[in-house]
Structure 1
Amino acid sequence: MPLYKTINVNKHTKVFVWKIEESFEELSKGISLTERSENRLLSMKSELHRRGFLSVRHLLIEAGYTDFDLYYNGNGKPHLTDGKHISITHSFTFSALIISDNEVGIDIEMNREKIKIIQHKFVNFERGFIHKDDDYIEQLTVIWGAKESLYKIFPHGGLTFKNDIDINSFQIADKKTTGYIKVEGWDKNYDIRFEQIDGFTLVYAIDPSKND
C-alpha cells in the first residue's frame, strides 16, 4: 500500500509511516540504490528486513529524497545531504522516518508480551510511575521506544538505556512526555510523542527549544 500516515509535528518536523504489505518485488519497483545500499540489501538474510529496508526508501521518496541523499557516519547514524536531521525505524510490518531541521529520533515497536520479560534491562527511574491500571505492555513499549529515540539522537553512541536515559511520568492517554539524556557534557531534555498504530507503538523525540 502507499504511505500509511503523515504527521506534521511542527513547522520544522514531519513523520512518515509506511505499512509494509507489498512483496519484495513490488517494493523494488522504481527504487534506485547506492552501491552501499545494494550491498546492505544483499547481505540481509531475512525477507522481512529486506522489505523493511525498501519501504524506508519509499518513505524517502515521499519526503522528497532518494537513497542517494542518505548517508551514514562512523557510528551508523543516518544523515541527509541537505543538512536536515533524519531518523529511521522499522519493525515487522511498519516502517517510519522523521525529518527535521533539528535533532530528532524515532522508533516503532510491536506491542508484545516479551517486553515484560526484558524490562529489567531498560527500566530504572521509570519504575516509580508505571501505572498498574494502565496498559502495562504499552507503557513499557513507550519507555523502550522513547529511550531508543533518544539513543538515536545522541551522536557519540555508548549510552545504556537503563542508566543514561530517563523518561518522565506519563499515561498512555497523554500521548506525550519528556525524556532526558543524563551523561556528562550532554544536559538536554527532549519532548517525547507517542501513539498506537495497529498494535504497534510509534515514539519520537524532538528538541523542545525549537518546537514552534
Structure 2
Amino acid sequence: MALVYLRELNQETKFAIWKIEESTEELLSKLQLDDNEQDKLRQLSKGKRTLHWLATRVLLRYLLQTDNYINCPSDTNGKPYLPDFPYKISLTHSYEYAGVMLSTKGECGMDLELVMDKVVRIKEKFLKPEELEFIQPEQDVLQLYACWCAKEAVYKLQGNKGVSFLEDMTIKPFNYKPQGVMTLDLRKDGLTNTYQVYYEEFQNYMLGYAVE
C-alpha cells in the first residue's frame, strides 16, 4: 500500500489517499477486527468492495498513528464515526484508491471519483438547469465531476441523510480550473446551510472535500 497524497489543510483537518496494492490477506494482517467487523467483512462481495473496506481501515490506522484497535462503527444512516477519538471522519474509495479525512473542526465530507465521459449522460439527474448553465463546454466532463464530488462530499458531511442532489443542493456559478473552490447551498427542513467545497484534479480522478 502506497501513500500517494497527504494534505494537512490546517491544524484541525487532514486527509490522505492510498493506492491499494496489497491482497486481502495482506491488508487483514495490518488490522485488528472485532466480531461485528468480521461479520461485516463476510457480508461484502469479494474483490474490490472488500479491498476498499480494508484499505480505508488501514489508512485510518496510519493517520491516527496507533497500533491499538480502532473502533470505527457506523450510525443508523451509515455514517462512520470514531467514539474513542476527537475526530469527525469521512471515508471514500474509487477503483484502485482509498481515502480518509479527519477533522476536529466539525463534520467533514470527502469524495474521490474516477473521471469518465459517462457523467455527461446523467448530468440532468444531479444538476438543475441553472447549474448546467455555468458548465463550460470545453471542459464539461471535469467540471461535472467537480460538481458531483462537491455534492457527494456535502451529502457525507451532513450524515448520509435523505437529501436529493438535484432538489436539495444548489451550486453557485464558478469557473472551472484544475484546483478551486465552489459554494454549495443545502436546503433541508426549511433551513439553508452554505458550504465552501474544495475540489482538485488528482491524476485521472476528481477529489472534493468540505468541512463545517
Same fold (TM over 0.5): yes
The 1-side partners of 2:196 and 2:69 are apart by 29
| Percent identity for Structure 1 against Structure 2 | 30
**Please, which of 195, 198, 201 is the counterpart of residue 200 of structure 2?**
195
Structure 1 residue 123 and structure 2 residue 122: aligned? no
Q: CA deviation at 1:5?
A: 1.2
Range with bigger deviation, 167-176 or 100-109: 167-176
Residue 197 of structure 2 aligns to which amino acid in structure 1?
Answer: I
Alignment of 1:109-188 (within 5 A): 109-124=113-128, 125-133=130-138, 135-155=139-159, 157-170=161-174, 171-188=176-193
Task: State the partner residue of 1:72.
Answer: 74
| 1:96 and 2:99 correspond | yes
The CA distance in 2 between the partners of 1:175 and 1:21, in whole Å, is: 30
Gaps of 5+ in 2: none
C-alpha deviation, 1:117, in angstroms: 1.4
Cα distance change, pair 60–131 in 1 and its aligned pair in 2 (3 A):
same
Q: State the alpha-carbon separation in 1 of the partners of residues 4 and 49 from structure 2.
A: 18
Give the TM-score normalised by structure 2: 0.90
Contact 2:61 2:70 in 1 (8 A): no
Stretch of structure 1 that moved more, 6-15 or 153-162: 153-162
Aligned to 1:210: none
- Pick the aligned partner of 1:87 from 86, 90, 110: 90
Q: Please tell me the residue identity of whatever aligns with 1:165.
A: M
Closer, same or farther in 2 for the Cα pair 1:84/1:185, shift >3 Å? farther
Q: What residue identity is the alignment partner of 1:89?
A: T
Measured in 2, the distance between the counterparts of 1:172 and 1:46 equals: 38
CA RMSD of aligned residues (A): 1.7
CA contact (8 A) 1:57 1:67 kept: no
Deviation track 1:40-69 (CA, whole Å, cap 9, x = no partner) reads 211111401111111101111111156633
Looking at structure 1, the residues matched to 74 and 29 of structure 2 have their Cα atoms a distance apart, in angstroms, of 24
Higher mean displacement: 22-31 or 94-103? 22-31
Distance 1:90 1:67, change over 3 A: farther
Name structure 1 gaps, 5 residues minimum: 208-212
